[in-house]
Amino acid sequence: MPDLRLAGGEVLLHDGTWRVMRADVTVREGRIVQVGKGNGEAEKGKGLRPEAQVRDCRGCLVMPGLIQAHVHLCQTLFRGLADDLPLEDWLVRRIWPLEAAHTEETVYASALLGAAELLLGGTTAILDMETVRHTGAAFRALERIGIRATVGKCLMDVHPEGAPSDLAESTDDALTDAAALAQRWHGSAEGRLRVCFAPRFVPSCSGPLLRAASDLAERFDAQLHTHAAETIVERETVLRTTGLEEIAYLDSVGIAGRRAALAHCVWIDTHEMDRLARQGTTVVHCPSSNLKLASGVAKIPEMLAAGCHVAIGADGAPCNNGLDAFAEMRLAALIQKPRLGAGALPAAQVLELATLGGARALGLEDEIGRIAPGRRADLVVLDLSEPHLHPLLGDPVSRIVYSARASDVRDVFVEGRPVVLGHELLTAPVDHIVREADRAAAELHRLARLA
């Protein structure tokens, strides 16, 4: 792979706090090797090997790729098909029938559509939960499109009320398939693709399945990815069926600690926050989803104060209805303020959730999430030329969180490889992706026989 230099941009660095420095970022073999003052136009190739690519980033902000630690790419095709419903209806009437109808082809089209949106919008890494079947098709799509992804097939061995009869598997079948996926995909694409073990949520999983998922994560050195405490109904269901509060129950079956990422955690108490902090578990905040499904507002400032690790994610397209990290960051900052005051969850903290926090959720806290020598070169170049980003006088972190849009993303690099340049996706033709997605969505809609 040729060397890469992002030259002359304002580079966003993090060493305890965020700061911006006019610098060149040099990348070799997928890693950042130097962040230093530019030598000017005459010496712009200095220190690079022949064939190096130098990308002019003057007038741009060079920032770490954004990380979303809770998405469901298999649901991208369901966008706009499940609006204005609370979570339980949303699952039973829409999501489960549609997931059960998925084929290899529709899972592939769904993952490709979602990943195209993510990359074009500056998200370079994801923690993804697919559906029960056809997770290999999602991996093939992500291998092709070039995003960094940690992907788990959805594990569920308790047949949920109202779901199609073939959505849940036996405990053994679920675990066998998950282990086979890990054998095939974990660490593939030169480490860019990894597997996680992803029990859907406590109400659709037996205790043995959860415990076995935890054991598999240890065995494969992989992450755990589930939902927790999303609604009051879920909280009460878990309390009734297990006799334990949800966070304590998950702990009892090994879904806790540095490997575990729990999406939502809207309905948890102070002592549960303390437990999550002690464990080192990551909470993944999904503000759009929590609002749209009427779940509530997660107490993120309180969790951060308690010492919890927090990441951010868009969740699936049908509960959002986008996969836009900029929209999630802005919303995360805004929704805490009426409750806690205008200073709650300031921009700098929110940007940490979408970078450092996401890296930790993926178990890659030493690899990605900030721009520094030795880190993998997952980089985003923001074009600052549009009126909505001006004046340039104020704080650049405020500009990213409160003002920037997915459409400001000019270039995206994953592991030093250009995947978006000049707002164009390089790894797959967007017109073909959206045409196939439209076709696959119509097919799914027909197969699922939605009421």
Which residues between 358 and 397 bind a second copy (CB under 8 A)? 385-388, 390-395
Nearer to a second copy, 89 or 365 (CB): 89
Nearer to a second copy, 80 or 373 (CB): 80
Q: How far is Cα 219 from Cα 409, in angstroms, rounded to an integer?
A: 38
Nearer to a second copy, 88 or 177 (CB): 88
Q: In sequence order, which residues have a C-beta less than 8 Å from that of residue 187 and are 6 or more positions away? A: 193, 194
Nearer to a second copy, 42 or 393 (CB): 393
Q: Per CB under 8 A, which of residues 87..126 are in contact with a second copy? A: 87, 89-90, 113-114, 116-117, 120-121
Nearest approach, Cβ of residue 346 and a second copy (Å): 5
Tokens (6 digits) for 376? 């993998």
Nearer to a second copy, 180 or 294 (CB): 294
Q: How far is Cα 393 from Cα 399, in angstroms, rounded to an integer?
A: 10
> Residues 331, 380, 381, 419: which binds a second copy (CB under 8 A)?
331
> Residues 31, 322, 418, 427: which binds a second copy (CB under 8 A)?
322
Q: Is 405 in the site for a second copy (CB under 8 A)?
A: yes
Number of residues that bind a second copy (CB under 8 A): 73
Q: How far is Cα 209 from Cα 222, in angstroms, rounded to an integer?
A: 16
Nearer to a second copy, 184 or 339 (CB): 339
Q: Per CB under 8 A, which of residues 200..259 are in contact with a second copy? A: none
> Residues 54, 244, 248, 291: which binds a second copy (CB under 8 A)?
291
152 beta partners: 129
Q: Name the segment binding a second copy (CB under 8 A); options: 131-139, 221-229, 315-323, 362-370.
A: 315-323
Q: 3-class DSSP state for residue 96?
A: helix
Sole residue written with tokens 């969740």: 315
Rg of the chain (C-alpha set): 21
Q: 3-class DSSP state for residue 302?
A: helix
> Residues 123, 131, 321, 355: which binds a second copy (CB under 8 A)?
321
Tokens (6 digits) for 272? 């549960």
Q: Is 188 in the site for a second copy (CB under 8 A)?
A: no
Nearest approach, Cβ of residue 9 and a second copy (Å): 17
Q: How far is Cα 273 from Cα 275, in angstroms, rounded to an integer?
A: 5
Nearest approach, Cβ of residue 397 and a second copy (Å): 9
DSSP 265: -
Nearest approach, Cβ of residue 63 and a second copy (Å): 16
Interface characters, 120-159, with a second copy (x: CB under 8 A): xx--------------------------------------
Interface characters, 427-446, with a second copy (x: CB under 8 A): ---xx-xx--xx-xxx--x-
Q: What angle do CA 180, 183, 186 make, to 5 degrees?
A: 120
Q: Is 335 in the site for a second copy (CB under 8 A)?
A: yes
Nearer to a second copy, 243 or 387 (CB): 387
Q: In sequence order, which residues have a C-beta less than 8 Å from that of residue 394 and are 6 or more positions away? A: none
Q: Is 424 in the site for a second copy (CB under 8 A)?
A: no
Nearest approach, Cβ of residue 446 and a second copy (Å): 10
Nearer to a second copy, 179 or 291 (CB): 291
Q: Is 407 in the site for a second copy (CB under 8 A)?
A: yes
Q: Per CB under 8 A, which of residues 12..41 are in contact with a second copy? A: none
Q: How is 356-374 classified by DSSP, letter by letter?
A: IIHHHHTT-TTTSSS--TT
97, 448 Cβ separation under 8 angstroms? yes
Nearer to a second copy, 44 or 337 (CB): 337
The CA-atom distances, in angstroms, between 111 and each of 215, 242, 373 are: 27, 34, 32
Nearest approach, Cβ of residue 287 and a second copy (Å): 9
DSSP 281: P
432, 383 Cβ separation under 8 angstroms? no
Q: Is 79 in the site for a second copy (CB under 8 A)?
A: yes
What is the number of other CB atoms lying within 10 angstroms of the CB of residue 219?
11
Q: How far is Cα 300 from Cα 309, in angstroms, rounded to an integer?
A: 10
Q: How far is Cα 230 from Cα 292, in angstroms, rounded to an integer?
A: 12
